[in-house]
Structure formats: C-alpha cells, structure tokens
Amino acid sequence: MTKAGFIGTGNMGNPMARNLISAGVELVVTDVRREAVANLIELGATWADTPKEVAAEASVVFTSLPGPRQIDEVALAETGIYAGAKPGTVHVDLSSNSLAGVKRLAAMAAQRGIGFLDAPVSGGTTGATNATLAIMVGGDKASFEAVKPLFDMIGQNVFHLGEVGAGTIHKLTNNMLALGQTLLLQEVMVMGKKAGFDPKGMHDVWAVSSGRGQAALMPGVLKRNWDNPFFSLALSAKDIGLCLEAARDLDVPMPVAQAVGQWYTRSLVRGRGNQSWFATLATIEEDAGVNVGTWPEEA
C-alpha cells in the first residue's frame, strides 16, 4: 500500500485523511495547528513537523488548504514539499487554487521530477465524511492512474479532465454556477417579499414552474442556520475571485459573475465572512429594507 502524506487537516482535509486511514493507507500528516491532527494520530497517522518531512516519507502528498498563498508556502518554502520530495513523488492539490497557480506549481514540480495533479473537490464536509466527493483532476495520465486508488477512497465521482488546470477550471466554474444561482434566488425572494408576497407561497409556484431547480434551495436558505458553515462566505468570495481571475487570463468577459462578486464583497465588509454563503441574503435584505423571514417549521 502506498505511503501517503496529508497537509491541511481542517474541515475538509480531516475527514478525507480519516477515510484514507480507514482504507488502510499509511499516512503521515502535518498542519499549522497540531490539535487539527490529534484524532488522526489516534487512528494511526504519523506526525511530521514540516511539509518537507512529510514529502520525504511519502510517495503521494495531498494538500487541502485555504487558498493560493498557503499552497505556495507549503509547496515552495525551504521546509516545503518540493524541498523534501523524491523524484517520482506526486503532489496532489485538493484545494481550490488559481489557474495560474496550479500551472506554476506543475512547472516547478516537473523541474524536480515531481508529478503534480490539481484535484479540487466538491461535496462539502458531508461528502468528505462519507467519501462521496466529486474530484476534478487535471494532470498527466500516468500520475492520475498512480493516484486513482487513493482518489477512490475519498470520492465517489472521480474525473480525469485533461492537463494541469482542467480540474481547477471545472471547480471554479462549478462554484460560480452554484453561488450565482443562489444569489439570484435571494434577490427575487426579497423582491417578492417587498411586493407583499409570502416566500412559501412563491416557492409553491416556482416549484412547479421553470424555476423549480432554484426554488428547491429555498428551505435551506431560509432556515438561516448560517453559523458554523460547511462552506463559508469568505471561502466563497475567494473562489469567485479566482474564477474571475481565470476569466481575465482567458479573455472571457463575465459581467454577471462580476456582479455576483460584488454582493460577496459587500457581505464580507459587513462582517459575514465566517457565516455560510447563504448569508448574502441578509446583505440584500438590508439594502432593500425588507426581511424575507424564515422557512415555516411545519413545511
């Protein structure tokens, strides 16, 4: 069985690492917070003080980190992955990264004889816990085939989509689609409420009309259980920014997506970064001067 490394054991990384251990993988781990790996150590993982030490021991190194800055630090620092990895090691970045960032890392890895896969995931903490994630992979076929058995331990839908960057493009566009449609739903809910209509009544109409797909989100949004989220508004805003950055690199105008980004920025300024991405509703409500209310418990 391959010895693997895992760096970044937060809300998403920890359950993915647990599933690898449960499947029999010998795992070496590190995180900026020692307490974030305590349960993994109890399950049999080995602690390493630095990413360099993780890479020295493992043939596959997974990273699951907040964003491009943290990924670059973990990979490229003097105590980073690329300083310790042997030729033939594969670095698998499960994070939502930038298109330019993953291509740069792949080029730097190749100079050292290291394989690189950008493999962002979707499915939230529930998917990470249940090993049902969608995993969107970019990189060379040989590296993908080498890591595929490990992917199957943490995800149910594993896609090899092309060269490095392919996984990142699919993840960023997926998130933009989900975040944008939810925001539009919130705007029309606020509009309908201000016009004097009950959101449950609007839902009943939309649910049997062409808006049914979006209307299905209403109960979750209007429960207003926005604290301790599986995906924060701050991380959502980060992914929107990365998507817009990739669009600029590809010379693709995205004015609607830019408008989506503005709502997320407004919500961050109002202190909602640590809440769920559904909390953009509160920002729209404030600007419109109306409160949509909550989903009825009996519904």
Give catalytic residue positions.
171
| Class of residue 286 by CB neighbours under 10 A (exposed 0-12, middle 13-18, buried 19+) | middle
Buried b (16+ CB within 10 A) or exposed e, 108-141: bbeeeebbbbbbbbbbeeebbbebebbbbbbbbe
CB 67 within 8 A of CB 55: no
> Rounded CA gap, 274 and 279, in Å?
10
Q: Residue 64 carries which side chain, given as an amino acid letter? A: S
Q: Which residues pair with 135 in a beta bridge?
A: 121, 158
Partners of 3 in the β-ladder: 26
With beta carbons less than 8 A apart as the criterion, state whether 67 and 95 touch. yes
Phi, psi (degrees; rounded to nearest 5) at 4: -120, 155
Residue 118 parent element (H or E): strand 115-118
Amino acid at 112: R
* 242 CB neighbour count, 10 Å cutoff: 23
Retrieve residue 142's tokens: 């040989």
